[in-house]
Amino acid sequence: MSNDLQNKVLFQQVAELLHNARQQVLRTVNSTMVYTYFEIGKIIVEEEQNGKDRAEYGKKLLKGLSKQLMKEFGKGFSVENLDRMRKFYKIYSISSTLSTKLENKDSQQLSLVAEDPSSLLRFKLTWSHYTFLMRIDDEKERRFYEIESEKYNWSVRELKRQYDSALYTRLALSRDKEGVLEISQKGQIIEKPKDLIKDPYILEFLGLPELHQYSESQLEEEIINKLEHFLLELGHGFTFVGRQQRITFDDKHFRIDLVFYNRILKCFVLIDLKIGELKHQDLGQMQMYVNYYDREMRLEDENKTIGIVLCQNKSEAVVKYTLPENNEQIFASKYKTVLPSVEVLKELLQNNRER
């Protein structure tokens, strides 16, 4: 090995160690700060409970404490921030940890939590993540987004985007009560093809106005240009295989718009893009694509291919009577190129639930 090559290898080894060390330091500092804010919130709450007129006493307490802390430690201890720490402790303290441990019926751990609620808390996200999560009132929904952020290393921006697109609600609608409880405790669990499917898919990141006249090829081009965002919207375990994948038989050529592979289910996922109303021929065509991949492309240790037709609008009756009753491979979902308002999204999801 030449000296130059040896030095390069040595540098890469040392550089990797230093990068890892810096990341570890950042994680440690972040964790320490979040725990500190939790403890500050605890002190504030316990002191408030000593006041006779708690509401009025609490306001004076935060104002006085903020003034002293800002003088000593800077702007990070405004009344607003102290109030966030107070709320943080209330949300993540004994009530949530006890409810979790009660399900396990572990009396020894319960007594430990009662003595020190923070002993079972593991704050893995940044303070900015928790500041956003605290805005979510529903505990199950909040826990879902917390778990997903931890598991998939979401930035605060991605967390906000997933929340604004109602990811939890879209997933919860296709599940029974036990299924909803499960995703709130474990995050999104992918065990069967239906677990991958969302309806609608929110594609606001493409930058295409809702009423703009664009072709299927233009829609596909924008998806390819924003492939990283599209993969995040598809969900967990997706890898991109190719676009306009050609299949040929009987001297006829057909092209599948987008082909992905899901590493969790170990299967191909084919996507066709349709502008306007879904037709029964679209589902029939996707069935042909799926059959071809199952018989010609799928390996013995891989699962059956999934096909998704993304359309602007669809008739549930067309889907129901075109596909077999025991269908687990072909799906039709709407897509929206503009993030709907909360009211529109709720109405859309409610309509899906009633069908």
Pull the structure tokens for residue 325.
Answer: 């009753």
Domain at 192-354: CATH code = 3.40.1350.10
**Residue where the block lists tokens 């999560």:** 133
Collapse the DSSP code of 249 into the 3-class scheme (helix H, G, I; strand E, B; otherwise coil) and give the result: strand
Q: How far apart are CA 72 and CA 43, in angstroms?
A: 18
Q: How far apart are CA 202 and CA 336, in angstroms?
A: 5
Q: What pLDDT does 103 receive?
A: 45
Q: What pLDDT does 251 receive?
A: 86
Q: What pLDDT does 345 receive?
A: 65
Q: What pLDDT does 26 receive?
A: 73
- From the list 237, 269, 266, the residue with the least C-alpha distance to 256 is 269
Tell me which long-range contacts 130-133 makes (C-beta under 8 A, separation of at least 24). 130/34, 130/88, 130/92, 131/84, 132/156, 132/159, 132/160, 132/163, 133/159
Residue 60 to residues 71, 73, 303, 346, Cα–Cα distance (Å): 17, 20, 63, 40
Amino acid in the structure at residue 120: L
Q: Residue 247 pairs with which residues in a beta bridge?
A: 254
Going from the first residue of the chain to its last (355 residues), give the mean pLDDT of each consecutive group of 10, the final group possibly shorter. 68 78 75 90 84 66 88 87 92 59 43 44 86 93 93 91 87 74 84 88 85 81 94 93 92 94 96 93 96 95 96 91 92 87 65 59
Collapse the DSSP code of 273 into the 3-class scheme (helix H, G, I; strand E, B; otherwise coil) and give the result: strand
Residues, the chain, total? 355
Cα 95 from chain centre:
25
Question: What distance, in Å, lies between the first and last C-alpha atoms of the chain?
Answer: 68
- Domain residue spans in the chain? 1-91, 192-354
Q: How far apart are CA 87 and CA 44, in angstroms?
A: 10
